[in-house]
């Protein structure tokens, strides 16, 4: 008789609303964290500035790397459901200090990605305000506004936030696909051989562009943070993870090719354009859609901020239950059934660096790139370590098969290459300092882990002494 794999669905709930989200609403969490609207309007131009005619190749390679991660994470999600995402998955397999690295990396990843989205929001917000003939509004004010609204919705109701994110992305992506399809149809008889032959592309440019391309996908696994709130999570969450990643990979690759093609026809530089979809809409003969897409991008960046805060708060909640953060953060709101304190804290931490950058006059797209790269470091480390834990996890659940370690090991190796490729040779400017900041952050997280572990041991020792019977 075949051995039946053991599955585990979290029954504690952690004070969160149980089985509140439909399969579509669950997938909306992953889609919104990826923010597929933001990639064509903000990330692809950044990748193009580095990889040039190799932009489409960077996205194919990034899609392949993410597919490996998808195969690993979907395996985790088939046998266990919990709000802690990758942190919960690896907690029973890896040594505690490695588990803490996964937790702190994942928390930073969601928080930094939220910061990145806020930077993009104030860039496009002021772009639209200028178009309306008005004066620029303070970038600090716009940052605080979008984060304040995101915190309120994430605190108020997870179902409202899921439905809102779903409709925002559906409308925005549809408009982008219309423009892209019009360009491809218009030039269907003229292949862009400069792209296909990778003219002018350099190895270092492709390497740096690849990491930013990976950033386009990060967060696809955030549906796993809804383990307590999704209906039938052992089925809906793996599907959400797989479908969101495959859907995004196809769109990003097609958009990368079409955008480089469209800008070549227009005689402009994609890597330097502040509003690329307007140029492309003009090339496609539907100029009005460019403005609508920019509006959609603005709202999509808000949805991405909301999705990241939703995910970060649940990881922080589980970290509190695991003793990695202060115990007060495990509290959930009695009526809303959301991790209110964790939502507020992650929101404040996410908006603080953006507000400082904005006050110093830093461009929103620069903040988008810097904080996005920082978030990518966190995701890459979390993905790599989680993939190494998968074989042991499958053994624990009676689902290990011969050769089951091949894909996890390959995934970890690819994530290691992505991390090394982003830090060596050392990039110029701010991007060269980001790895040091990330390392300092992980060091502080490890110091907190060692201190809190020592405190637990000390308290247990004291407790055992107090319970010893007197002679």
pLDDT in tens, 19-63: 778 888 888 888 888 888 889 988 899 899 889 999 999 999 999
Task: Say which residue the tokens 């993870």 belong to.
Answer: 241
Q: What pLDDT, on the 0 to 100 scale, is given for residue 85?
A: 76
Task: Say which residue the tokens 């990976």 belong to.
Answer: 214
Q: If you compute the radius of gyration of the chain from its CA atoms, what whole number of angstroms results?
A: 22
Q: What pLDDT, on the 0 to 100 scale, is given for residue 323?
A: 84
Report the DSSP pairing between strands 8-9 and 80-81.
Answer: parallel
Q: What pLDDT, on the 0 to 100 scale, is given for residue 2?
A: 41
Q: What pLDDT, on the 0 to 100 scale, is given for residue 458?
A: 47
Tell me if residue 21 falls in helix, strand or coil. strand
Measure the CA–CA gap between 353 and 107, rounded to whole angstroms: 16
Q: What pLDDT, on the 0 to 100 scale, is given for residue 281?
A: 92
Measure the CA–CA gap between 33 and 27, rounded to whole angstroms: 10
Q: What pLDDT, on the 0 to 100 scale, is given for residue 158?
A: 66
CA atoms within 13 A of residue 462's CA, in its CB half-sphere: 6
Query: Using one digit for the tens of pLDDT, what is the confidence trace for 273-295?
Result: 888 988 999 988 888 888 888 88
Residue 325 CB-density burial (10 A; 0-12 exposed, 13-18 middle, 19+ buried): buried
Residue 63, number of CB atoms within 10 A of its CB = 21
**Which two three-digit tokens encode residue 373?**
């790269």
Pick out the chain residues at pLDDT < 50: 1-8, 11, 457-471
């Amino acid at each position: 008789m075949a051995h039946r794999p053991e599955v585990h669905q979290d029954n504690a709930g952690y004070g969160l609303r149980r089985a509140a989200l439909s399969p579509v609403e669950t997938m909306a969490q992953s889609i919104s964290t990826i923010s597929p609207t933001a990639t064509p309007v903000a990330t692809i131009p950044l990748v193009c500035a580095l990889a040039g005619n190799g932009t489409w190749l960077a996205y194919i390679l990034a899609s392949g790397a993410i597919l490996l991660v998808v195969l690993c994470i979907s395996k985790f999600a088939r046998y266990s459901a919990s709000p802690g995402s990758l942190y919960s998955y690896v907690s029973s397999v890896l040594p505690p200090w490695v588990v803490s690295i996964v937790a702190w990396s994942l928390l930073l990843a969601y928080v930094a990605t939220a910061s990145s989205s806020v930077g993009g929001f104030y860039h496009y917000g002021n772009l639209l305000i200028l178009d309306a003939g008005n004066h620029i509004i303070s970038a600090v004010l716009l940052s605080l506004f979008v984060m304040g609204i995101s915190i309120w919705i994430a605190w108020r109701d997870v179902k409202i936030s899921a439905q809102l994110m779903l409709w925002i992305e559906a409308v925005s992506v549809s408009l982008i696909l219309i423009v892209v399809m019009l360009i491809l149809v218009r030039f269907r008889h003229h292949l862009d051989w400069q792209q296909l032959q990778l003219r002018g592309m350099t190895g270092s440019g492709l390497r740096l562009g690849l990491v930013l391309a990976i950033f386009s996908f990060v967060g696809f696994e955030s549906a796993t943070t809804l383990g307590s709130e999704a209906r039938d999570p052992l089925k809906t969450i793996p599907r959400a993870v797989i479908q969101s990643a495959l859907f995004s990979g196809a769109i990003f690759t097609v958009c990368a090719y079409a955008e480089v093609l469209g800008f070549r026809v227009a005689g402009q530089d994609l890597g330097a354009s502040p509003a690329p979809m307007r140029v492309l809409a003009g090339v496609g003969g539907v100029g009005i859609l460019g403005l609508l897409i920019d509006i959609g991008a603005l709202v999509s960046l808000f949805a991405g901020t909301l999705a990241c805060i939703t995910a970060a708060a649940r990881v922080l909640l589980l970290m509190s239950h695991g003793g990695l953060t202060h115990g007060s953060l495990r509290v959930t709101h009695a009526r809303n059934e959301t991790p209110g304190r964790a939502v507020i804290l992650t929101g404040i931490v996410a908006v603080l660096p953006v507000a400082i950058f904005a006050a110093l006059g830093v461009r929103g797209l620069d903040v988008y790139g810097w904080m996005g790269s920082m978030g990518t470091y966190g995701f890459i480390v979390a993905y790599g370590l989680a993939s190494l834990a998968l074989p042991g996890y499958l053994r624990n659940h009676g689902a290990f098969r011969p050769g089951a370690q091949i894909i996890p090991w390959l995934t970890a190796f690819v994530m290691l290459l992505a991390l090394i490729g982003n830090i060596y040779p050392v990039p110029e400017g701010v991007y060269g300092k980001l790895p040091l900041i990330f390392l300092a952050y992980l060091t502080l997280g490890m110091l907190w882990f060692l201190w809190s572990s020592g405190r637990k041991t000390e308290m247990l020792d004291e407790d055992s002494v107090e319970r010893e019977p007197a002679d």
